[in-house]
Amino acid sequence: MSTRGKIILIIGGVLVLAGFVTLGVSKRRQPAVSVKLEKVSRRDLVSVVTSSGKIEPEQSVDILSDIMGRIVYLPVKEGDLVQRGQILVKLDTASYAAAVERAQAGVASARANVAQAQANLDQAQRAYNRARDVRAQNVQLISQEALEQAQTAQEVAVANLDAMQRQVEQAVANLRDARDQIAKTTIVAPLSGQVTRLAVKQGEVAVPGTFSRETGLLMTVSDMSVIEARVNVDETDVVRVKLGDSAQVSIDAFPDTSFAGHVTKIGNSSTTAGSASTSGLQTAAQAVDFEVRVTLDHPPRNLRPDLSATARIVTDTRKQVLSVPIIALTVREPPHDTTAAPVAKGGARAAPAAATAQRYTMGTDTTQAHRLKETEGVFVVDTATHVAHFIPVKVGISGDQYFELLSGLKGGETIVSGSYQAIKDLKDGSRVKGQQPPRAAGGTAAS
């Protein structure tokens, strides 16, 4: 190699070395980002689904009238306790009693017609028998035509008798219907419970609720011995709820008190399905909720239907598992070489998550959509250099403040746990400063 080439090579090496030195100095001079720090430790986690709704009795019956009539007797008030079979309402029976009398008269008339038809049949039968006997003795005494006429009259009489008997059956059915109608003027309690709603007063006219349930409603009787909190759970959470899950129910009317319960029913169709099918206007932005019923184990005695309630349903628990703060979890583009993880304190290299949850963000270019793959992880701080490195992790259930850590870290690492804006703007390799993390907790606090 010529002398000139050696000089150029030496100058190039010096420039490269100077560039590395300048880069290192600039990094050291880079201002540190103020953050909150926390150590990865073990704790108990409780995964909870929280939803609001109303208090309702498990069994309640809306009392409606099957017939129209003026209310002449109303012995109960709202809030009264009633027993099954107890009289709740009596309607005016005048028109229905008259209908019963008409039906009874119709039965008597039909039976009289049967007796008359029977007598006509007997007479026609005797006339036919005489004509037949005479014809048998001497064909000259009665013609064949007369004999046929007598036979026809006898058959008509038989048919008339059968028709009259059918009319008796019809009259009896009318009488039975009239008696059923008058029986419906007295309405009794279908179950033992409490009158939780009274929509009418004595003297008003009760109308059938065939076409309008609200118009025809007289009262509601509820069995208040079994109480439910009926809450609406979002579609993203309802898949985690199971029958038998324990819950704590808070009722606005009973502040600072919660009631234990358990899930007894999970709706199979959304609460918005009926309205959406009717209107046909359901959009993708509309919330989809499912009704979940939580039965209270020991409800207070003075509960009322429609009280506002909030249920905290425990869907899963974990004992003494590694966890990271929810706010610490963020997403970044994965490095090209995910095997080269940074060295944490103590010289142990943090292993990347085996199966990293990935999210895809659609590009804004309408001509060609592109996908940007992002990875969930946390920023681990090297306590010697105060440099934060993004480490992919895999998380499990979530508590109120922490995620269960399945893979990615071994425990004891110092991670960035706040603030939200600081984590959002933080970059891999950034210098950070913050308070010393608290000592790893024993892990007994539920999250």
Chosen domain end from 316, 342, 358: 316
Judged by DSSP in three states, 315 sits in strand
**Domain identity same for 361 and 300:** no
Secondary structure letter of residue 208 according to DSSP: B
Query: Within a domain: residue 21?
Result: no
**Max Cα–Cα distance, the chain, nearest Å:** 166
The encoded tokens of residue 83 equal 């027993």
The encoded tokens of residue 328 equal 């610490």
pLDDT digits (tens, 9 = 90+) for 80-120: 999 999 999 999 999 999 999 999 999 999 999 999 999 99
The encoded tokens of residue 150 equal 């007598």
Distances (CA, A) of 309 to 48, 211, 248, 251, 287: 16, 32, 10, 4, 20
Residue range 169-190: mean pLDDT, rounded: 96
Residue pair 63/80 in contact (Cβ under 8 Å)? The answer is no
Distances (CA, A) of 233 to 266, 299, 314: 9, 22, 13
Query: Within a domain: residue 205?
Result: no
Tokens 């009158």, residue located = 195
**Domain identity same for 365 and 421:** yes
Q: In this predicted structure, what is the pLDDT of residue 165?
A: 95
Query: Within a domain: residue 122?
Result: yes
**Domain identity same for 413 and 356:** yes
Task: Specify which residues 124 forms β-bridges with.
Answer: none
Q: Give helix 94-137 / helix 144-183 axis angle, nearest 10°.
A: 160
Chosen domain end from 293, 316, 339: 316
Chosen domain end from 287, 316, 345: 316
Q: In this predicted structure, what is the pLDDT of residue 287?
A: 79
**Domain identity same for 225 and 279:** yes
Q: What is the length of the chain?
A: 447
**Domain identity same for 302 and 281:** yes
Query: Within a domain: residue 421?
Result: yes
Nearest-angstrom CA–CA distance, 227 and 74: 27
Task: Specify which residues 314 forms β-bridges with.
Answer: 48
Query: Within a domain: residue 427?
Result: yes
Nearest-angstrom CA–CA distance, 92 and 97: 9
Q: To the nearest 10°, report the CA torsion of 93, 98, 100, 105.
A: 170
Query: Within a domain: residue 370?
Result: yes
Q: In this predicted structure, what is the pLDDT of residue 16?
A: 61
**Domain identity same for 224 and 169:** no
**Domain identity same for 279 and 332:** no
Say whether pLDDT at 346 is over 50: no
Say whether pLDDT at 375 is over 70: yes
**Best mean pLDDT range from 3-7, 202-206, 282-286:** 202-206
**Domain identity same for 328 and 425:** yes
Q: In this predicted structure, what is the pLDDT of residue 318?
A: 92
**Domain identity same for 344 and 276:** no
Residue range 118-141: mean pLDDT, rounded: 90
Indicate the average pLDDT of the chain: 83
Segments forming the whole domain that contains residue 113: 93-183
Query: Within a domain: residue 14?
Result: no
Kind plus residue range of the DSSP H or E element containing 236? helix 235-238
Q: In this predicted structure, what is the pLDDT of residue 156?
A: 95
Nearest-angstrom CA–CA distance, 43 and 178: 73
Nearest-angstrom CA–CA distance, 236 and 282: 18
pTM of the entire predicted model:
0.66
CA–chain centroid gap for 2, Å, is: 85
More confident residue, 335 or 92: 92
Query: Within a domain: residue 214?
Result: no
Say whether pLDDT at 339 is over 50: no
Which CATH number do you get for residue 302?
2.40.30.170
Say whether pLDDT at 349 is over 90: no
Half-sphere exposure of 249 (CA within 13 A, CB side): 30
More confident residue, 51 or 29: 51
Rg (alpha carbons) of the chain, rounded to whole number: 44
Kind plus residue range of the DSSP H or E element containing 34? strand 33-34
**Domain identity same for 254 and 270:** yes
Say whether pLDDT at 4 is over 60: no
**Domain identity same for 170 and 100:** yes
Say whether pLDDT at 32 is over 90: no
Number of domains observed in the structure of the chain: 3
pLDDT digits (tens, 9 = 90+) for 212-259: 778 889 999 999 999 999 999 999 999 999 999 999 999 999 988 999
**Domain identity same for 252 and 287:** yes
The encoded tokens of residue 266 equal 């999970």
Q: In this predicted structure, what is the pLDDT of residue 333?
A: 77
User: Apex CA 292: angle with CA 263 and CA 216, to 5°?
Assistant: 120
